[in-house]
Amino acid sequence: MRTILIHYHLFKNAGSTIDSILERNFPGEAHGHLEGPLPWSTVSPQELLEYALANPAVRAISSHQARLPVPQHPGITFVPILFLRHPIDRVASVYEFERREPADSLSPSVAIAQNGGFAAFVNWVVGRETTAVCRNFQVAHLAHAQHDMREARATHDDYLQALAHLKNLPFFGIVESFEASIQLLRNALPPELNQLDLDFTIKNFSPGRKATLEARLEQIEKELGPSLYRELLEHNALDMLLYRQAQQLFAENCARHETGKIPASGQSSGWPRVKQWLKFELFK
């Protein structure tokens, strides 16, 4: 039986750090990369499977655009690696990253980030012409109900599908609890991979980044102002729901494996401010 790790590299969810671990353990052709032709493309489970079958040396695959569910094949065990991140903290990270990208990038968010400040970027995020890059991106990604990420708009049904996919994974991590996540990953690896070197150094670390999630969220709200910050929360309400559910599942997994607890960030994560909006808009 062949075993292949699949790194579902959600944009700005600590994926570069995971890729560095995979590159160290699976050098050369053993670590494959699969992406669609355009920044907003998606890669289906069937395309992942076909890539694995066409590349017999591959033992790990990384992809920004690969979508769940995990492929199935009688001769291959696929082991998924996926991380979620606080949606609002992620928006700020996307902005900082896009500002450092080449100006001729095809990604629409690069030009927006490079031609204005953070508030201007968020105004684009909450506008009509935005892509899904910072609007319920994690729900849209995990649900795999829409295939053009320029136009994707996650629905409550997408949230339910994303949560179902998340619950079916043998492992997922939380960016804000990265060290505990790596311990859970080690527990999820099959016996033939339990000798992997999972030591890590954080990659793509934004300069000047506040040390705690609470401090970063306070800084974001201060820079945006209450009204725009609230709009940003509303346009990421499904991601906030998914993240909160993921925190609970993650804490249960940590307790089961005695790997430590997730930080109690739920009450300082923007949840109280979006909870009332969710009550009337999503469940009316």
Q: Average pLDDT for residues 77-94, to the nearest whole number?
A: 98
Annotate the chain with three-state secondary structure.
CEEEEEEECCCCCCHHHHHHHHHHHCCHHHEEECCCCCCCCCECHHHHHHHHHHCCCCCEEEECCECCCCCCECCEEEEEEEEECCHHHHHHHHHHHHHCCCCCCCCHHHHHHHCCCHHHHHHHHCCCCCCCCCCCHHHHHHHCCCCCCCCCCCCHHHHHHHHHHHHHCCCCEEHHHHHHHHHHHHHHCCHHHCCCCCCCCCCCCCCCCCCCHHHHHHHHHHHHCHHHHHHHHHCCHHHHHHHHHHHHHHHHHHHHHCCCCCCCCHHHCCHHHHHHHHHHHCCC
- Residue 194: which pLDDT band, with cuts at 50, 70 and 90? confident
Q: Average pLDDT for residues 78-97, to the nearest whole number?
A: 97
pTM higher than the cut 0.85: yes
CATH class of 2-281: alpha beta
Pair 246, 162: CB distance under 8 Å: no
- Residue 207: which pLDDT band, with cuts at 50, 70 and 90? low
- Tens of pLDDT, residue by residue over 175-187, are 999 999 999 999 9
- Tens of pLDDT, residue by residue over 137-151, are 999 999 999 999 999
- Tens of pLDDT, residue by residue over 1-60, are 999 999 999 999 999 999 999 999 999 999 999 999 998 999 999 999 999 999 999 999
According to DSSP, the residues that pair with 77 across neighbouring strands are 3
What's residue 272's pLDDT?
A: 53
For the chain, give every domain's residue range: 2-281
What's residue 268's pLDDT?
A: 47
Q: Give the alpha-carbon dihedral of 251, 256, 260, 263, to 10 degrees.
A: 10
| Mean model confidence pLDDT for the chain | 91
